Amino acid sequence: MTGFLSNLVQYQGLFRMITVLGIGGTFQIGFQISTITYMSQHVKAFINETWLERYGYPIQQDNLLFLWSITVSIFGIGGLLGSSGSRYLTVKFGKKKCLLCNNVLMIVAASIMGCSKISQSFEMILVGRFMCGVSAGLCVPLHHQYVGEISPKKLRGFANSTSSFFWTLGKAIGQITGQRELLGSQSLWPVLMASCGLPALVQLLTLPFFPESPPYLLMHKGDQEGCKKAIRQLWGEGQHQAEIDDIMKEKATMKNTKILSVLELVKEPAFRWQLYMIVILTATIQLCGINAIYLYTFEVLQAAGFDERMASYMTLSIGLSELVAAVVCSSIIERLGRKVLIRGGYWIMGSLLAAITVTLSLQDWYFWMPYCSLALIVLFSIVFAVGPGGATVSTRVEIFKLSCRPPAFVISSVLNWLGVFVIGTTFPFIVERLKQFCFLIFMVVLFTSGTIVHLFLPETKGKSIMEITEEFNKLNFRNKHIPATPNHVTEDYTFCTRL
């Protein structure tokens, strides 16, 4: 605790910037994902009312369900588009400028959705949701990369795991404000829909007072004075020579400071296993069953005899438990390491899914069995937040150099948004066919991924980017010649030694 407080004092600039990035980053994404559930009934009624007023007859039920499904899924389509363009925009304009413009896009989208009821236009909701998706697709990789680049080595795991904390915080706040007693009512749902613009407004007003990431300023802008100023503003006036030397070594290995394209990264043999790992980690997040658990929770609660309102409150309790677990992850990630949390989390989650399958199969036999299912679901969400939820983000940032991080995050984000779309469209049919045994599919994925991580993923805790790259070179080049990594700093880049 004493060490954390001393770091908080020394790195107060860093902690303030992490907060600003989190509020305008994964917080607002988690907020939007959770609030849309509470607006389902109201938006459907609004579509029906608008249709009746325009055409004089109510909309057909099939058409209503189609429009609602488009309203939900168009967010993912926008996210796929936004993430695909993140590499180009990041390289051309830098992360800070991209986030500022992205905030403007989110505020405009929120305003459009908020005015939909007054304008009697459900099409405005579709346009706003699409724009929100584009903003989210661009925002998430920028948030992850930005936080990873501004953090010193000893706090990198903690800083990266905060994105999971802000995600769960946004979900919890969304669940609270979405209750009928607050903004989830028939009259206030447009306010709830427009409130996603508030986090973007906070970031838009505060981010200009913070610097661009030091590695970006030095490697791509050649701004030596800006790099020194950014380091002092974020890390204080202490000794940071080790981190500075790491930046210099990475700079020395980059060819003309060029950011690779997605195709160049895929073809580059020196990053083959890093790509394998990021694909496995991203795919496992989507196929681990956490989204399926969220979809199944309400049904399990109703089977346990809870009415709709009580089930809503208990779903909120699950979200709050996940928030507490995310805090725990941030506090232990630098002690246990990323590999232990990911591997152990996968295996424990796989075991819990096996137990959930058993309790769901027996819930009609014993009156108390649904309560066991609920307890296991809560435990599953907690294990996810403590382990893979936060550690995966940190690992994805740490295994790539700055020159390949933007295209790597494009690949990761595209896979992530595709996974959201595929799971969202296919899972209802899987449940219909397999019932509770659908969780066995996710169990196999978890145990398989846990084994792969155990065998091939290097531990990144306390290591520089160059040290992690050397670990991967043992896999990428096995019996081949490993390219030499410069371990010196050239004379042109010794300016930081006097910080």
Dihedral, CA atoms, 1, 336, 236, 25, nearest 10 degrees?
Answer: -100
Is-contact 161 332, C-beta < 8 A? no
* Helix spans in 11-60 (H): 12-22, 28-38, 40-55
What pLDDT, in 10s, does the model give residues 319-332? Answer: 778 788 888 877 78
CA distances from 105 to 19, 77, 133, 194, 378 (A): 20, 16, 10, 13, 35
Amino acid at the residue 425:
T
**Alpha-carbon gap, residue 105 to 192, rounded angstroms:** 18
Residue 499 is predicted with a pLDDT of 44
**Alpha-carbon gap, residue 406 to 146, rounded angstroms:** 11
Is-contact 216 93, C-beta < 8 A? no
Residue 498 is predicted with a pLDDT of 39
- pTM of the entire predicted model: 0.77
Is-contact 424 76, C-beta < 8 A? yes
CA distances from 93 to 32, 114, 297 (A): 27, 30, 42
Structure-token pair, residue 289: 């069953």
**Alpha-carbon gap, residue 67 to 44, rounded angstroms:** 9
Cα within 13 Å of Cα(261), Cβ side: 3
Is-contact 160 146, C-beta < 8 A? no
Torsion angles phi and psi, residue 336, rounded to 5: -90, -25
Cα separation of the two ends of the chain = 28
CATH class of the domain defined by 6-239: mainly alpha
Q: What is the DSSP letter of 364?
A: T
Q: Which fold has domain 247-478?
A: Growth Hormone; Chain: A; (1.20.1250)
Is-contact 463 264, C-beta < 8 A? no
Residue 495 is predicted with a pLDDT of 39
Return residue ranges of the chain for CATH 1.20.1250.20: 6-239, 247-478
Sign of the dihedral defined by the CA atoms of residues 77, 80, 84, 85, in that order: positive
Residue 485 is predicted with a pLDDT of 47
What pLDDT, in 10s, does the model give residues 377-432? Answer: 889 988 988 888 878 888 887 888 777 888 888 888 888 878 777 776 676 667 66
Structure-token pair, residue 254: 């980059």
Torsion angles phi and psi, residue 386, rounded to 5: -70, -40
Instruction: Tell which residue, 144, 162, 145, 216, has the closest CA to residue 19.
Output: 162
**Alpha-carbon gap, residue 300 to 454, rounded angstroms:** 33
Residue 125 is predicted with a pLDDT of 92
Residue 491 is predicted with a pLDDT of 37
Rama region for 70: left / alpha / beta (φ>0; ψ in -120 to 50; rest): alpha
Q: Apex CA 375: angle with CA 369 and CA 377, to 5°?
A: 105
Is-contact 470 273, C-beta < 8 A? no
**Alpha-carbon gap, residue 87 to 102, rounded angstroms:** 14
Instruction: Tell which residue, 96, 102, 164, has the closest CA to residue 134.
Output: 102
Q: Alpha-carbon Rg of the chain, whole angstroms?
A: 23
Instruction: Tell which residue, 184, 157, 187, 160, has the closest CA to residue 173.
Output: 184
Q: Which helix (H) or strand (E) holds 478?
A: none
Length of the chain: 499
Residue 176 is predicted with a pLDDT of 85
Contacting residues for 260 by C-beta, under 8 A, at least 6 apart: 268, 403, 404, 407
Residue 209 is predicted with a pLDDT of 92
Q: Which residues of the chain have pLDDT under 50?
A: 1, 4, 256, 485-499
Cα within 13 Å of Cα(472), Cβ side: 26
What pLDDT, in 10s, does the model give residues 61-85? Answer: 888 878 887 887 788 888 888 888 8
